[in-house]
Amino acid sequence: MNVALLLIIGFLAALSIGGAAFAFAGAGSDKAKKRVAAVARPTVSARAVKGASDANQQRRKNVQVMLKELEKQQAQQKKRPSLRRQIEQAGLSISIKTFWIASGIAGAVAGIGAFVAVHALYAVPLAGFAFAFGVPRWVLGFLKSRREHAFTREFALAIDTIVRSVKSGLPVNEALKLVATEMPEPVRGEFRALVEGLKVGVGMEEGLKRMYERMPTAEVNFFGIVMSIQQKSGGNLSEALGNLSGVLRDRKRLQGKIRAMSSEAKSGALIIGSLPPGVCVMIYIMSPNYIAPMFTTQLGNLMLLGCGVWMGFGVLVMKKMVSFKY
């Protein structure tokens, strides 16, 4: 009886020791490890996740607001600029008063020259009006277009300079100052005006807006959008400007391709437009008496005037046909 009791007690003790060993070092060790790993794993709180999502939403809202503001500015800037603005865009530093004085002198000289040439009073107001109001505006447009082309040629290189400066650790203002001192005109002048405005307290967005008013090109508009969005929403400025530089170079290649493809049409338009005056000059050289009534009689003068008007319309139509927007 005692032996049986001892055996039962020994069996129960062995069973207890085995259960304890199985609990601490047996099959339950994997679960214990998982519990420890779950406790030790850094968890992201719901508040942090919500804060990150709110920040992303706020950033998207800032970008949308910025794009809407830029669309409004573009709609306002599509209106015809003032004379003062046109003079600035042409790169001239004269006053409005000087411009009108020069236009009046040009109109008076043209009117006197027309009267001396054709001896007709009706030619005086026509020539005077054309040279007092038409030709000066055409000169401003020509100078503006030439300045914009010169700016666009060097603008991609200026953006590359900003990208390299930012990557090397310089602040954005210092990078802009480097462009304002190293790049050729008119890029240097525009960035100098931007840097000087920033020095006296003008904000980056306002300075870029003024820069676009002085140089109304798509490239400057893209640059202003990138800088404004990066300033308000953050992001990698060097990467954004690098992508912009690639886009501008692609636009330049597209411009060259369009110019090459439209060169045949432009040559044809030039030949067609030069044929009538060329034939007139040849006839005047070969047989001046035959064409003299066109210049000596009133009816001939009216016919020449009508021919000139219709030729002008034809040239404008052909120019519109061979001009491509891209």
CATH at residue 202: 1.20.81.30
Residues 165, 201, single domain; the answer is yes
Residues 313, 281, single domain; the answer is yes
**Residue where a domain stops, chosen among 249, 275, 294:** 249
The pLDDT confidence band at residue 44, using thresholds 50, 70 and 90, is: very low
**Considering only CA atoms, which of 88, 261, 247 is closest in space to residue 152?**
247
The pLDDT confidence band at residue 62, using thresholds 50, 70 and 90, is: low
Residues 236, 297, single domain; the answer is no
**Residue where a domain stops, chosen among 228, 249, 270:** 249
Asked whether residue 64 is assigned to any structural domain, the reply reads: no
Residues 283, 203, single domain; the answer is no
**Residue where a domain stops, chosen among 216, 249, 282:** 249
Asked whether residue 176 is assigned to any structural domain, the reply reads: yes
Residues 266, 239, single domain; the answer is no
Residues 244, 300, single domain; the answer is no
Question: CB neighbours of 219 closer than 8 A, spacing ≥ 6?
Answer: 151, 152, 155, 156, 248, 251
Asked whether residue 8 is assigned to any structural domain, the reply reads: no
The number of domains in the chain is 2
**Residue 174 reports pLDDT greater than 80:** yes
pLDDT at 28: 46
The helix/strand/coil state of 157 is: helix
Residues 269, 225, single domain; the answer is no
Q: Within a 10 A sphere around the Cβ of 241, how many other Cβ atoms? A: 23
Question: CB neighbours of 247 closer than 8 A, spacing ≥ 6?
Answer: 222
Residues 241, 287, single domain; the answer is no
pLDDT at 23: 47
- The mean predicted confidence, pLDDT, of the chain is 77
Residues 275, 304, single domain; the answer is yes
**Residue 293 reports pLDDT greater than 60:** yes
- For residue range 93-145, list pLDDT tens digits in order: 888 889 899 888 988 888 888 888 777 777 788 888 888 888 888 888 889 88
**Residue 219 reports pLDDT greater than 80:** yes
Segment 161-182 mean pLDDT? 85
Asked whether residue 76 is assigned to any structural domain, the reply reads: no
What domain range includes position 277?
A: 262-326
Question: CB neighbours of 214 closer than 8 A, spacing ≥ 6?
Answer: 88, 89, 190, 193
Asked whether residue 296 is assigned to any structural domain, the reply reads: yes
Asked whether residue 102 is assigned to any structural domain, the reply reads: no
Q: Could you tell me how many helices (H) and strands (E) the chain has, helices first?
A: 16, 0
Token digits of residue 82: 């003032």
Asked whether residue 136 is assigned to any structural domain, the reply reads: no
